[in-house]
């Protein structure tokens, strides 16, 4: 098991981050991780607290952007890269559907229907 990101709050302002990933040593590790995270967020993030998890992730993004030296450039880069990933994902789902594979994605807080045996 690999720790992707751990965020713990020990006090009012004592928040600590930890990860097993070292992008300085292995920058190529990030792209497959982003794809795996995307697939998880699109298909199987079903712990019952999806809304809260996604809200905290967005909070981390807001905090990061607020400290960015060039916020507009970072937003532009994130927009471009997430757009490319969104298109690739849509193309993948489309290709799967053309092959007859059923693809379902659910938004946060929307649980898949229970299947009756």
10-62: pLDDT as tens digits: 999 999 999 999 999 999 999 999 988 888 877 766 666 777 888 899 999 99
**40 occurs within a structural domain:** yes
Burial class (CB in 10 A: 0-12, 13-18, 19+), 85: middle
- Is the separation of the CB atoms in 10 and 17 below 8 Å? no
> Which domain does 86 fall in, by range?
25-98
Q: What's the whole-model pTM score?
A: 0.72
DSSP 3-state of 7: strand
Q: What angle do CA 104, 107, 113 make, to 5 degrees?
A: 55
**59 occurs within a structural domain:** yes
Segment among 2-11, 49-58, 80-89, 101-110 with least mean pLDDT:
101-110
Q: Of 67, 68, 90, nearest to 77 (Cα)?
A: 68
Q: In total, how many domains does the chain have?
A: 1
Reply yes or no on whether the pLDDT at 107 is more than 70. Answer: no
Reply yes or no on whether the pLDDT at 117 is more than 60. Answer: no
């Amino acid at each position: 098991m690999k720790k992707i990101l751990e965020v713990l709050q020990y006090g009012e302002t004592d928040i600590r981050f930890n990860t097993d990933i070292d992008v300085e040593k292995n920058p190529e590790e990030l792209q497959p991780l982003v794809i795996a995270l995307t697939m998880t967020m699109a298909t199987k993030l079903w712990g019952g607290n999806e809304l809260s998890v996604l809200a905290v992730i967005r909070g981390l993004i807001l905090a990061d952007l607020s400290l960015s030296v060039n916020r507009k450039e970072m937003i532009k880069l994130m927009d471009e890269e997430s757009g490319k990933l969104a298109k690739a994902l849509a193309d993948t789902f489309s290709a799967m559907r053309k092959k007859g594979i059923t693809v379902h994605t659910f938004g946060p807080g929307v649980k898949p229907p229970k299947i009756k045996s």
